[in-house]
């Protein structure tokens, strides 16, 4: 991978969407796609659109695409191809996988989640608890929005079966000490279940190094199309009875959990998205993002209240804030009038918003990725200053 400084002008030329006047700080809800991803999706539909297993050319090409997609996922997650599972979206995948895991659980078993989690890694466990009479506990946060690991250890019992946590908060950008959480979970005999959706565009994911048993992410958050991607440790997946129609193949391993016909055209886009990231290299991406985040923090007007860590250490460049005298929605609308795209609300981060006392209105959220520029950050700061 390249380690040179990021040439963001060259990068932006690879995105037709970025020719618009809009400053896209909406990346936490979904990033823009480079043209190579769009072309790959269209190319599949033009040249290879078919179901799998046929003797004819377009079907054979679709078979080959599925293999390439699993290989690309294995490279992206640092796992075996059979451990990478595609699905409609991450939340749907998590509901399916947690329900499959639920076949191994008993009434009274316990699940721990954190108050930093997105609901996509909370509600599936709550629904499973409702069906199976399980218990779900919430690990608390420190005032700076970091996870209270002492509280995690206090809540562990001999009945704890899963510890679910995010790699990074989709609301306030806070990183977790993932390896330590995994270590604590495993020492207690529990599975470690990671949500990497928000971390996906900001740094490399290495499931082997992290030691997680399960992990989920969303390609549309890292410059790809709308679909979900999950990792499951092979020994764990092999031990489960999957929800699967009878004639379907049980090999390769991931096929047990990929129900029905996948969106092949989106898999083509996924492969292109991984190739796009590889063409830049994580070092250049992370260096540029850190510069943008520090520029934002250094320039915040006094009327803006930031929630979460006030420095770039321990976070990704996703920022939740409020502006004195204005609701988050009013701020988002005023920024939209200036062609600046941000989010408002709670972004399905229900627990952290409640912990911060932000109520039903939530906060404004601006997220930077590598295709954003210093000039765009200055535009945002100027607009906030005017507000």
Distance CA 275, CA 231 (A): 19
Helices (H) and strands (E) in the chain, counts: 14, 13
Cis, bond preceding 307 (omega within 30 deg of 0): no
**Tens digits of residue pLDDT in 336-376:** 999 999 999 999 999 999 999 998 899 999 999 999 999 99
In DSSP terms, 26 is beta-bridged to: 367
The contacts of residue 309 (CB under 8 Å, 6+ apart) are: 144, 145, 146, 172, 173, 174, 315
How is 143-177 classified by DSSP, letter by letter?
Answer: TTS-B-HHHHHHH--TTEEEEEEESB-TTT-BB--
pLDDT at 52: 95
- pLDDT at residue 250, rounded to an integer: 83
SS percent in the chain: helix, strand, coil, step 5: 45, 15, 40
Residue-level pLDDT at 2? 42
Q: What is the pLDDT along the chain (387 residues), one digit of tens a residue?
A: 345 689 999 999 999 999 999 999 999 999 999 999 999 999 999 999 999 999 999 999 999 999 999 999 999 999 999 999 999 999 999 999 999 999 999 999 999 999 999 999 999 999 999 999 999 999 999 999 999 999 999 999 999 999 999 999 999 999 999 999 999 999 999 999 999 999 999 999 999 999 999 999 999 999 999 999 999 999 999 999 999 998 778 888 999 999 999 999 999 999 999 999 999 999 999 999 999 999 999 999 999 999 999 999 999 999 999 999 999 999 999 999 999 999 999 999 999 999 999 988 999 999 999 999 999 999 999 999 999
CA distance 206 to 3: 19
Q: What residues pair up with 163 in beta bridges, in sequence order? A: 112, 192
| pLDDT score, position 4 | 64
Q: Residue 211: left if φ>0, alpha if ψ -120 to 50, beta else—which one?
A: left
CA 321, 323, 328, 334 torsion-angle sign: negative
* 228-232 and 135-139 beta bridge pairing: unpaired
Query: What domains appear along the chain, each with residue ranges and CATH number?
Result: 8-32+281-386 (3.90.1150.10), 39-277 (3.40.640.10)
CA 368, chain centre distance (Å): 14
| pLDDT recorded at residue 118 | 98
Contacts 24+ apart (CB under 8 A), 140-144: 140/115, 140/355, 141/114, 141/115, 141/116, 141/352, 141/355, 144/174, 144/308, 144/309
């Amino acid at each position: 991978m390249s380690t040179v400084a990021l040439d963001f002008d060259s990068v932006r030329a690879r995105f037709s969407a970025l020719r618009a006047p809009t400053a896209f700080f909406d990346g936490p809800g979904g990033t823009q796609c480079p043209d190579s991803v769009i072309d790959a999706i269209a190319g599949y539909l033009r040249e290879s659109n078919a179901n799998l297993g046929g003797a004819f050319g377009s079907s054979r090409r679709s078979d080959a695409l599925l293999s390439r997609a699993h290989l690309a996922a294995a490279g992206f997650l640092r796992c075996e191809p059979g451990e990478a599972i595609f699905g409609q979206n991450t939340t749907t995948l998590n509901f399916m996988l947690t329900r499959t895991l639920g076949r191994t659980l008993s009434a009274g078993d316990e699940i721990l989640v954190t108050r930093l989690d997105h609901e996509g890694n909370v509600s599936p466990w709550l629904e499973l608890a409702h069906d199976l009479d399980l218990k779900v506990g919430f690990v608390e946060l420190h005032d700076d929005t970091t996870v209270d690991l002492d509280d995690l250890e206090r809540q562990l019992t001999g009945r704890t079966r899963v510890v679910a946590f995010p790699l990074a908060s989709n609301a306030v950008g806070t990183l977790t000490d993932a390896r330590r959480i995994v270590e604590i979970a495993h020492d207690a005999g529990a599975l470690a279940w990671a949500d990497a959706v928000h971390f996906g565009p900001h740094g490399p994911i290495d499931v082997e190094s992290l030691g997680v048993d399960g992990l989920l992410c969303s390609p549309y958050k890292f410059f790809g199309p709308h679909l979900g991607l999950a990792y499951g440790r092979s020994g764990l997946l092999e031990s489960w009875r999957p929800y699967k129609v009878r004639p379907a193949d049980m090999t390769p391993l991931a096929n047990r959990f990929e129900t029905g016909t996948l969106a092949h055209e989106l898999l083509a886009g996924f492969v292109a998205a991984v190739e796009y990231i590889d063409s830049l290299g994580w070092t250049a991406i992370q260096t540029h993002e850190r510069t943008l985040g520090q520029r934002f923090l250094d320039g915040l007007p006094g009327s803006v209240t930031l929630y979460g860590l006030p420095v770039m250490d321990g976070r990704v460049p996703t920022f939740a804030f409020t502006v004195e005298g204005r609701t988050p929605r009013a701020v988002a609308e005023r920024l939209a009038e200036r062609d600046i795209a941000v989010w408002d609300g709670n972004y399905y981060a229900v627990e952290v918003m409640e912990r911060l006392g932000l109520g039903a209105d939530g906060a404004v959220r601006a997220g930077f990725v590598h295709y954003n520029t210093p000039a765009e950050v200055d535009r945002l700061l100027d607009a906030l200053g005017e507000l």
